Structure 1
Amino acid sequence: MPLTRRSLLGASLCALAAPALVSRAWAETPPRNISALRQMDWRDHFETLGVGAIVADTGSRALHYWSADGATYRLFPTSVPATEELTRRGYTQVVEKKVAPTWTPTPSMRERFPDWPAVMPGGDPRNPLGPYALYLSWQYYRIHGTHDTRKIGRPSSDGCIGLFNEHITELFGHVQVGTQVRLI
C-alpha cells in the first residue's frame, strides 16, 4: 500500500487516540477484583492521611490516591515491576516532584543493556519517565508517566510504577512532597 498523506494522517490520528482508548478499555474492563479496589480504605494502610496518601497495589496493578482532607480519591491503572526481584514493597514517601524528568538508567539496567544511553533528557519522546515523575525516598523508585501505553496493566517496568501520561498529569497536580506511599 503506497504511503499517502491521507494514510499518514489516519495513522497519526490512531496513534494519538490510542492512550485514551486503552484508558477507556481499562475502565470498561477493569481488573478482576475491581470491587475490592473500590472498597480500599486508606485507614487499612496509614494512621493519618498527612498531606495525602498513595497505595500502589502491584497485585491488582492499580494506584489509589487520597488527598489530605480525604475528599479527593482517585484510582488509576498502572504498570508494575516485571519481576519479583525488581519489586519493592513497604512504606516510602514522595520526596520530589519533577516536570519533564531526566532519565538515567540504573547501574543494573546499564549492565543488562550496555547500549542504552547514559542519560535521556526530559521531553525526549523516548524518555521512559513521561512528562512527570514523583520521586520516592527509595533510590531509583518513581511513580511516573509512560509513552508506552502497552505497559499499563502488566508487569513491565524495572521497579517503577507507571501511569498513562494523562493520569500522571492529574496525579501530579494533586500530590504534595511528603505524601506517604505504600507499595503492596
Structure 2
Amino acid sequence: MAVFRRSLMVTSLALFALSARADNVQSTPVVAPDSPQASSAKPEKATEAPRENRLFPVKDDVIGSMQSMTTRYEDTFADIGTRTSIGYLELVHANPGIDPWLPGDGTRITLPQQHVLPDSPREGIVVNLAEFRLYYYKDGGVKTYPVGVGSEQNPSPLTKSKVTMRLESPAWYPPKSVREEYEASGTPLPRVIPPGPENPLGNYALKLSAEGYLIHGTNKKFGIGMQVSHGCIRMYNNDIKELVFDVPKGTPVAFVDQPVKVGLNGNEVWLEVHRPKEDLDAQTKDRLWKAVMARMDTLMESNPGLEFQRAAVENAIDQADGIPRLVGERTRQVAKASVESGRKERVSH
C-alpha cells in the first residue's frame, strides 16, 4: 500500500492534464480523447438503450460504454432495468437524486453499461457478489448480466462450482431452513412448488455442483441487482432464458466478492468501486480505501510506470457508484518502450 500512496503524492502535479479531465467526474466516467471508447463514451440520445448482454470481445480489462435514455411517464427503475438488463441498485447509484419509482416523463438518466472485469480467471461463469453481476466468458469474449444475490442473513457462497444440469420449468423444493422461516412468519410452504406463476425459480434454471444452489429466473418483478435471495443467484427471466441454452454442462462457476475493481484499457487505468447499500458510511468507505490501495499496489507491481491522479481516485471512492473512472495512465516513455518491444518480438518471430 505504501507504493501506491507514494505514487499518488508524486503524481499529483505530473498528471495535470489527467486531473483536468478527472476532476470533472461526478456520475459519468471520463474517457481519454485517444481512448478506444471515446467514440462511444457520449450517452445515447435515443429514448431507449440496447440491452447490455451482448458478447463483448475481451481485449483489455474494460468492456462496454456508458449510455443514457429519456424516461417515459410510466417508467420506474425496475421497468428500465428489465428492458436494458441493468440491476436496480446499479441504476439508483448511477442516478443520485432521481426518484427510482417516479423518475418522471422526459428525465434523462444514466445507464451504467460499462464495466471493469473482475480479477478472476476468465473462464466459464464468474459471479461478483459485490456488484450483483454475472460474467460469462465464451469464444474469446464475455457476456454480462445483473443478478440478485443472497441476503445478509442467507449469503451466497464464496466458492468454486460448476454447472451440472439445465432445468426447464423447474419445480422448487424449499429446504427445511426456508420452510421453517416461512412457517415462523405465518405463511407455511409446501414441500414442493410445481412449475407455474407461484414458483420463485421462474421458467429456467442452472443447477450447480454446490449443493442447494441454482442460477435461476424469478416470478417477481423486483430484486435483480439486490441482496434478496436465500443464497441462489436470481436473474431477469429474459436473461436466464438466453443463458441457460448457452452454457454447457460442466462449465466452471466462481463466486467472488470484489467491491473494488481496477483494470487497464490500453495505457489507461480504470477504477470501479461499489458500495453494498444505498448509503455509504464511514466504516465502509475506509474499507473501500484499503481495498483500492491493495489493488493498485498489485497492479503497479506487474505494470511499471503507472501514474495516478489522487483527485480521481478519491472521487471514485467518495461516489462508490459502480461507474468506472479513469484514474491514471502509463507514462509515455514506458508505453513507447512497450510498443517498441512488441515490434521487435514480432520481427524476431
TM-score (norm 1): 0.76
Cα distance, 1:178–1:118 mapped onto 2, change above 3 Å: same
Q: Residue deviations 1:126-171, cap 9 Å, x none? A: 1011111101111110000012121111110000000000000011
The higher-RCO structure (CA 8 Å, 6+ apart) is: 1
Query: In the alignment, which residue of structure 2 is the partner of 1:148?
Result: 220
Aligned counterparts of 2:87 and 2:203: Cα–Cα separation in 1: 26
Q: Is the 8 A contact 2:157 2:255 kept in 1?
A: yes
Say which of 112, 130, 152 aligns to 1:59. Answer: 130
Q: Secondary structure at the match of 2:235?
A: strand
Q: 1:95 to 1:28 in 2, by over 3 A?
A: closer
Separation (CA, whole Å) in 2 of partners of 1:61 and 1:19? 15
The alignment covers a number of residue pairs equal to: 159
Q: Is the 8 A contact 2:172 2:194 kept in 1?
A: yes
Q: Which residue of 1 aligns with 2:176?
A: 107
Among candidates 112, 116, 125, match of residue 39 of structure 1: 116
2:82 corresponds in structure 1 to 23
Specify the alignment match of 2:140 in structure 1: 70
CA drift of 1:70 comes to 2.0
Contact 1:22 1:149 in 2 (8 A): no
Residue of structure 2 equivalent to 1:121: 194
Q: How far off is 1:117 after superposition?
A: 1.5
Gaps of at least 5 residues in structure 2 are 1-73, 95-111, 257-349
Q: Judge conservation of contact 1:97–1:135 (CA < 8 Å) in 2.
A: yes
| Unmatched runs of 5 consecutive residues or more in structure 1 | 1-13
List per-residue Cα deviations over 1:35-69 (Å, max 9, x = no partner): 8x72316xx423x73xxx111111100111112x2
- SS of the aligned residue for 1:113 comes to helix
| Greater Rg over alpha carbons, structure | 2
Question: Would you say 1:136 and 2:195 are equivalent positions?
Answer: no
Q: Which residue of 2 aligns with 1:8?
A: none
Alpha-carbon contact 2:154-2:229 (below 8 Å) kept: no
Whether the 8 Å contact between 2:155 and 2:231 is mirrored in structure 1 is yes
| SS of corresponding position for 2:217 | strand
Corresponding residue for residue 3 of structure 1: none
User: Does structure 1 retain, via aligned residues, the 8 Å contact 2:200–2:218?
Assistant: yes
Paired with 2:143 and 2:225, the residues of 1 have a C-alpha distance of: 16
Aligned Cα root-mean-square deviation (Å): 2.8
* Amino acid aligned to 1:70: G
Partner of 1:5: none
How far apart, CA to CA, are the structure 1 residues paired with 2:85 and 2:207? 26
Could you tell me the percent identity over the aligned residues?
Answer: 31
Q: Return the TM-score normalized by structure 2.
A: 0.42
